[in-house]
Amino acid sequence: MIVPKPLIGLTTTRLPIPSGGHTFGINESYVKSVANAGGLPILIPLELSNDDLEVLLPRLDGVLFTGGNDIDPRRYGNQPHPKVEGVDADRDRLEIHLVQTVIQSDKPFLGICRGCQVINVALGGSLYEDLPEQFPGEVHHDNHDHSRNFLAHGVDIQSDSRLAQIMTSNHAWVNSLHHQGVRKLAHDLHETAIAPDGLIEGFELPGHLFGLAVQWHPEELQEHEYMRKLFQIFIHSCKAVNSIIPKQDNI
C-alpha cells in the first residue's frame, strides 16, 4: 500500500523569461530537500487571490516560506530605501496572508531567509533594509560571491529551543546570503539563534505544532546531517497533520 506523503506548499518567485513575460519558480534545492525528507512539494503561484489561498490551505499539510527578493518596507511601517531590490507586491500580499492563515489553522511552517523575514513582518515585526548601512559589524552577511554552501559564520542557539533539539547543539556553522535582517522581532515570536554580531538568525512560534524560521539556507547545506534533520522534523510534523486532519474533496 502506498503511504500518502504530506503535501508541502512552497512559495515561489516571479522570474522574467527571455521571450517576455514571467514564470513562477524556486531553486531546485528547496524541492529536493523537501522531497528527500519525505514530503511532496507543491509550488504556490503568486497570482492566487487570498480567497484561493483559503481554498488551497486545507489541502496542504505544511508550508515552506522560501528565500527571494526584498519585502516592501512600507509593509513594516518604513519608507522605500535605495538598497531594497526586487519588491513584488503580489508576493508580499500572498505570503503575509499565508503566514497569518497558516498560524490560525495551526499548520506546520518553516521559513528560510526571506521566509524568515516575511513571517516576522506578517506578525508585526520589522527589518533592517540594508545591514551594511544600518547594522554594520564584524559579520559579513551577504556572501553571494562565495558558493551557496560556504559556511560564513557561527550562530549561538538557545538551549531551550526547538531548534537546539533538532540541531542537538547550542552552536552551528551556517551559510549567509542576505543583506537584510530582523530589526524588531514580532511580539509572538521567540528568538532561537543569534549571530556573533547580535543579529537574530532564527526564531520560533511557541505553542505551534511546528513554527520555525532561520535566516540561513539549510537547503543548500544538505551534506550536513543537522541541516537535513531540520527538514526531516518539519516533514514529520506535517505527517502528523496528514494523519489527523481529513483532506477536502479533490481540487
Question: Catalytic residue positions?
Answer: 113, 217, 219
User: Contact at 8 Å (CB) between 8 and 60?
Assistant: yes
CA distance linking residue 188 with residue 186, whole number of Å: 6
CA distance linking residue 61 with residue 39, whole number of Å: 9
DSSP annotation of 251 reads -
CA distance linking residue 199 with residue 33, whole number of Å: 26
CA angle 146, 219, 215 (to 5 degrees): 75
Length of the chain counted residue by residue = 251
Give the DSSP H or E segment for 119: helix 114-122
180 residue type, one letter? Q
